[in-house]
Chain A
Amino acid sequence: MKRFSRRQFLGLVGGSAVASALAACAPAQAPSAPSAPAPTGPRGEVTILQGVDANTLDPDFRNSVPEFNVNAHIFDMFLWRDPKTLEPKPWIVREWRNVDDLTWEFKLVEGAKFHDGTPVDAEAAKFSLERHTKGQVGGKPIVPALRRLINFDRVEVVDRYTFRVKTTAPAATILDQLTNHEIMPPSVYADESADNLAKVAVKPVGSGPYKFVEWVKDQRLIMEANPDYWGPKPQIQRLIWKPVAELSTRILALQRGEADIIVNVAPDQMANVERGGNARICRVKGGRNIFVGIRCDRPYLSDKRVRQALNYAVNFDAINRAILNGVGERTRTIITRPSEQPPNAKPYPYDPDKARQLLKEAGVPEGFKVVMDSPNGRYIKDKEIAQAIAQDLQRIGLQVELKVLDWALYAGDMLAKRQPDDLFFLGLGSPFNAQSELNYIHPDFSLNSTYWVNEEFIRLYDELSRTLDRAKRQQLINRLWEVAYDDPPWIYVWHQVDIYGVSNRLEWECRPDERILLHEARLRS
């Protein structure tokens, strides 16, 4: 029997309309039929070990990857992100178009139902988007980032399956944002009483390919295949999500066949995972951008030649060999989506002579002291990489004092107050669109503690955020990156590689966006 993967299914039904959807402003289409033929019934059980348990499954209070991973199976996100191109693709929103610069029209698939039997319709979409853009739910404050990021004004219901999002200014990243937001049944989530909020936080109801069964906190979260799913039928009957904090425990569980997917395998543990022949490694260059922020408001560091020197000083190849088992690659550009990457982007080469020359030109005295902060254990080999970078900087004549701090203190105090030392090691997950990624070095970004102000960058960025035309946007993105490369606010280090251990009995591929999605996964017979 011929089997259809989700991607094949979309390709068959959406066809060329999907391709046109890539031109963000053009109309897009997706599966118009509510369901695809199920090649076989779902079978088997798959266990996924994440580092931590979810805190809450309420879509407006969750803010971590493990929570997203669970919700992405119980709910439908409005749109899907293609794991290769990283472009938003049709999903339960099957097509869209720009009515004008301030109006986006979306059409939902017809006939889909939430797990409580209520219809997935434009009213539900309106309800969900309004909840996602509120400042408070049930009196509890939430970050209505979506409101700001898409310049949200209001939602209008056009007909049963069509709705329009009105924005106060052009919102080019709206499609990206919709890949991260759930559509929710008003029948379950409209009640904002404390009791109901406490209930839905642990018993989510969505329209996704899996139905919630049980969540014993810190032990297991179980979901079952939804036989009435509107889209491609899931091929695995039961998913079990467990939190296991300790990596060696996760590896043992995988080797013993007690787990099928494990997260955050350290580069030096890859061989261990494959030992025994039960499991393989799935490795993908992720979106988490690891860098060393530079305080541009400090003496000498305000000079772009000094910041260039810091970039030239880092011997990433040595770091890669000694610390990362060769899996890393130095940052070429902070823009991750292939179609948006500047064509000529290249990493800073290792050139300590040039670095010394630049420092000399900038008048930096020999032995100039800088303090560098690093978290410990937050990112892959963070402290070790920070130590190596500190040594590289000492080789070009700087004196570096490295301060290693626990993450809670690092983020909760130092970054929150925007008062890190001269240099600070940090990683930021990617939103996978250039506009949001370039925003990370914009002075208005809340986590930006570099105090870097480049007037040309700010002007071009403002223009980018108002532009919908794809070709024009690409020109702006290319120039913005040139500015950020030439006048660097960061030492560009690498994009973290995400490494998973995967049982050999499971057909599943990892994605660059840190999401574990088993919509297409199946067990080998």
Chain B
Amino acid sequence: MGVYIVRRLLQTVPVILGVTALVYFILFQTGDPTFLMVSTDASREEVERIRRELGFDQPWYIQYIQFLGRAVRGDFGVSLRQGQPVLNIILERYPATLELTFAAMFIAIVLALPLGVISATRRNSAFDNLAMAFALVGQSTPVFFLGIILLFVFGGLLGWFPIGGRGRGDLGDELRHLILPAITLGTFSVARNARLVRSTLLEVLGQDYVRTARAKGLAERVVIWQHALKNALIPVVTVVGLEFGTLLGGAVITETVFAWPGVGSLVIRAIGQKDFPVVVGTVTVLSLSFVLINLIVDLLYGYLDPRVRYR
């Protein structure tokens, strides 16, 4: 197991290298950031001088190698626009994004599991049809639209929740700010997971060992929740694990709608301002998170499916 983990961790190196090189290359193709950094008062000579002094006159791969040289020492450079170390900027916002992602994930799992299980066990019932209709709508609704509607209804019309932001510290206020963005971000996952749980559970319920369990006279509740569900969850765990990474990145739109101060809104602004160090730093941190979550998901297989062995 230890060797497996080390090997997987080593595999993250080429992934991170590939992702950052790609980001650097793409950013470079969209022009250098000097022009956006200076005011309209700048003369062409001044823009050129700043470009030279910041090293943006170098080819992209030279700049990339210089970035790597600093990054391995934990130095992602200084934001071109904020004048602060990039790592500090990211770490300031990362907890907000993690909080939102975990909350969305929590909603996705807590709602999807019972929805999927009940739909599977009461197949073709009114509840099943209703739940799957909800899943369809949930999967088809754009996050942006859903966010605005929720804000309008529950924030504006009913006044139950505050309009945007992250609250000022106390738990109640934080939670009130968190609920709408978490629902917005989590709805797609609820829908997808509920459908997945339903279909995998239906498949498992038809297998011999479930029939055996029933033949032994076990209560249906035990058959479903202890025997069938554990096996049905294996593909669900895979999807949920991958989804966590997607949610991390997908928080971008939700963060923008709800003025949520996470890395999503940070990276969007940094792309607009061509703040290269912040974009590359954020992408690196998000990629690392994604890779680590995948590793954790793979390790969870071992718990859920004893046949899986790590070498």
B162: Cβ under 8 A from any A Cβ: yes
Smallest beta-carbon distance A155→chain B, Å: 20
Asked if A266 is at the interface (CB within 8 A of a chain B CB), the reply is no
For B49, give the chain A residue with the smallest CB separation: A141
Min distance, Cβ B145 to any Cβ of chain A, angstroms: 11
Is A416 a contact partner of B31 (Cβ separation < 8 A)? yes
Q: Is A245 an interface residue (CB 8 A)?
A: yes
Known A-B contacts A52-B269, A148-B43, A447-B40; A411 and B35 likewise in contact (beta carbons under 8 Å): yes
Does residue B288 face the partner (Cβ distance < 8 Å to A)?
no
A345 at the interface (CB under 8 A from B): no
Of B16-24, B152-160, B294-302, the one contacting chain A is: B152-160
Q: Which residue of A249, A407, A446 contacts B47 across the interface (Cβ within 8 Å)?
A: A446
The smallest beta-carbon distance between A225 and chain B, in angstroms, is: 20
In the complex, which residues 45-94 of chain B have their Cβ closer than 8 Å to any Cβ of chain A? 46-47, 49-50, 53-54, 79, 81-85, 89, 92-93
Among B54, B83, B84, find the residue whose CB has the most chain A CB atoms closer than 10 A.
Answer: B83
B125 to chain A, nearest CB (A): 39
* Choice from A135, A219, A255 contacting B156 with Cβ under 8 Å: A255
Check B92–A217 contact: CB distance below 8 A.
Answer: yes
Specify the chain B residue showing the minimal Cβ separation from A177: B41
B39 within 8 A of A: yes
Question: Is B308 engaged at the interface, CB distance under 8 Å to the other chain?
Answer: no
**Chain B's nearest CB lies how many Å from the CB of A71?**
14
Whether B83 pairs with A201 at a CB distance below 8 angstroms is: yes
Complex: A414 Cα to B36 Cα, angstroms: 12
Question: How big is chain B's contact interface, by range?
Answer: 35 or more
Inter-chain CA distance A248–B153, complex, in Å, is: 13
Interface string of A134-161 (1 = CB under 8 A from B): 0110001111110011000000000000
CB contact between B44 and one of A52, A244, A246, A446 (< 8 Å): that residue: A446
Closest B residue to A63 by CB, please name it. Answer: B39
The reply to whether A407 and B272 contact each other, CB–CB distance below 8 Å, is yes
Q: Please judge, given known A-B contacts A218-B265, A249-B163, A252-B155, whether A409 and B83 are in contact too, CB under 8 Å.
A: no
Residues of A within 8 A of B (CB): 52-53, 55-56, 58, 61, 63, 135-136, 140-145, 148-149, 197-198, 201-202, 216-220, 242-246, 248-249, 252-253, 255-256, 258, 407-409, 411-417, 428-429, 431, 444, 446-447
The 5 closest A-B pairs by CB, nearest first: A413-B31, A145-B41, A412-B31, A218-B261, A416-B35
30 contacts between A and B (CB under 8 A): A55-B79, A55-B81, A55-B82, A55-B83, A63-B39, A140-B83, A141-B54, A143-B46, A143-B50, A145-B39, A145-B41, A201-B83, A218-B261, A218-B265, A242-B259, A243-B259, A249-B257, A249-B259, A252-B155, A253-B163, A258-B163, A407-B272, A408-B30, A408-B31, A408-B273, A411-B35, A416-B31, A416-B47, A446-B47, A447-B40
Binding site for A on B (CB under 8 A): 30-44, 46-47, 49-50, 53-54, 79, 81-85, 89, 92-93, 148, 151-152, 155-156, 159, 162-166, 168, 256-259, 261, 265-266, 269, 271-274
